[in-house]
Chain A
Amino acid sequence: MDLYLPIAGLSVNMLVIVGLGGLVGVLSGMFGVGGGFLTTPLLIFYGIPPSVAVASAATQITGASVSGVLAHTQRQGVDFRMGWVLVAGGAVGSFAGGFAFRALQKSGQIDTVVGILYVLLLGSIGILMAREAASSLRAIRSGEPVKARARRHLAIVAALPFRWRFYRSGLYISPLAPLLLGASTGLLTVLMGVGGGFLLVPAMIYGLGMSTRVVVGTSLFQILFVTAATTLVHATTSRAVDIVLACLLLIGSVTGAQFGARFAQTVRPEYLRLILALIVLLVAGRMALGLGWRPDEIYTVQAL
């Protein structure tokens, strides 16, 4: 079933795109991540122009996180004060990212920069996650309880001025720290087409020291608004948002997420985290190969 994508300007097999969304949806339902870090590279491998892939993946993540945000809100799992600070930072970040995207596109370096960002971020986070999951698995095998890590924020976060109280997160810290965190994920959303959950969640737990009860809900809350802002930034600057592509992905991913969530309940969370870490490392490795291998096309053409 071929379908013409009006903005990407090419025909795709509808079932492949829905299936791709579904695959990412299964993973996101299993691991509670948005899956943008998988969607964007897969779309690019399939032949969608990189800018269209990045922009449309952001639109898709907005829709994919709606039901999560609603569910977490009902369970009081969203720290709205923290959420709005993150969103404000994210808006600034995505706005700045829009200019960076334009400038990089003009100089022809966008693909290289996005590739390097993917390798660095996914590589380091994948290694951290794999190590953490492996050590907790070893602890389970040997029967020793894992030492609970003292919940504390980093010294640099504690040193920032103007402290606010974030009741639900159980924190008394400066809003500048989440503002900067939000800004950097906003920047990544525009450049890489990721929601930034894989960066946001560890940073909230280990960097800010937030109560884990509100981490996932608050990060979803931030992702929802920042990907929405990113869609607007892309729509007005790079004009690369393909509504048809985003809808196809969304249909697949919301369906897949249901199955993923059910499967996740039958597997130990430590194994889940290890699998996720391996997938993340796999994507990082593939991107690294893409950077280092001689590409199929030495020449590229861009209309002015």
Chain B
Amino acid sequence: MSRLLLLILAPLLISAAKPKLVPDVSQRRIDIIYSFTGAELLLFGAILYPGGRVPDAHADIAVVLKGPAEPVVVREKAKVAGIWMNVRSARFRSVPSFYALAASRPIERLVDRRTAAIYELGIDNIQLSPASGAPPEEQRRFEAGLVDLKRRSGLYSESATGVEITDDVLYRARISIPARVPTGRYTAETFLIQDGRVLAGATREIEIDKSGFERFVAVAAERWSLTYGLVAVAISLLLGWIAGIAFRRLK
């Protein structure tokens, strides 16, 4: 009987022996309004060790903010008859539209490559799911081109100093959101890492969406496209007409 009890309780006991993360974010929702020029997201929380005892070995924290994945086609330009044009292309099934990693130390010093690949830690470890049957070498070239482009436009970023840990218990990470951020449901994953192993992880969701007038315009253009077009023409005609009258009066 006691054996059976132990068997049932075993997972609970094990999980109780592991540290836990209690994460939170400064904003659950980021509104893009007319004056939006980017935002700074604060991801913070506490590390709960079993029994409240902080171990001697320091643990590290890595935070990943990921945007909604989308299928994309990547095109490569080449010179054809003196003109640079898109020649080859490759498809990817799920490319995160945004990816930012912040860690308390450089990620390659925290985990080995296999673990980094499993948890998608680091820009070079993002799973892009290539969909075209291109040879691996060509595939890698397109992947590198895609990641490089995303990195330079500020949509993929990696910071080895973005996380501060206070007294091995409290952590705080800053991730800056650029003005051209894609909208959608984002996930913020926090990982507690010690000796190259991920001890605990926790996820929070963040919604980034256009709001107010900006949202209304974007939704209208998508849902009532003909009406939107007619209104655009009407506004344009009206503005032009009013300006014509106004300037004639001024003369």
Contact = CB atoms under 8 A, between A and B. Distances in A.
Nearest to A255: B243
B83 A116 contact: yes
A241 B232 contact: yes
A66 interface: yes
B71 A10 contact: no
Contact of A294 (B37, B84, B233, B236): B84
Nearest to B77: A298
Interface residues of A, number: 54
Contacts of A127: none
Given A67-B240, A292-B84, A299-B75, A235 B226 contact: yes
B22 interface: no
Contact of B221 (A7, A112, A302): A7
A254 B243 contact: yes
B228 A303 contact: no
The listed residue with most B CB atoms (<10 A of its CB), out of A116, A293, A298, is A298
A278 interface: no
A224 to B, nearest CB: 8
Size bin of chain B's contact surface: 35 or more
A142 interface: no
Interface stretch (A180-188, A245-253, A268-276): A245-253
Contacts of B226: 232, 235-236
A235 B218 CA distance: 12
A66 B237 CA distance: 6
Interface in B77-107: 77, 79, 82-86, 89, 91, 95
A89 B229 CA distance: 20
A63 B239 contact: yes
B165 interface: no
Contact of A241 (B74, B83, B91, B221): B221
A300 B85 CA distance: 11
B243 A4 contact: no
Q: Which 9 residue pairs across A and B have the least CB separation, nearest first?
A: A67-B244, A235-B229, A63-B240, A299-B145, A66-B240, A63-B236, A254-B243, A6-B217, A232-B229
6 contacts: A6-B213, A6-B218, A7-B217, A235-B221, A235-B226, A300-B74
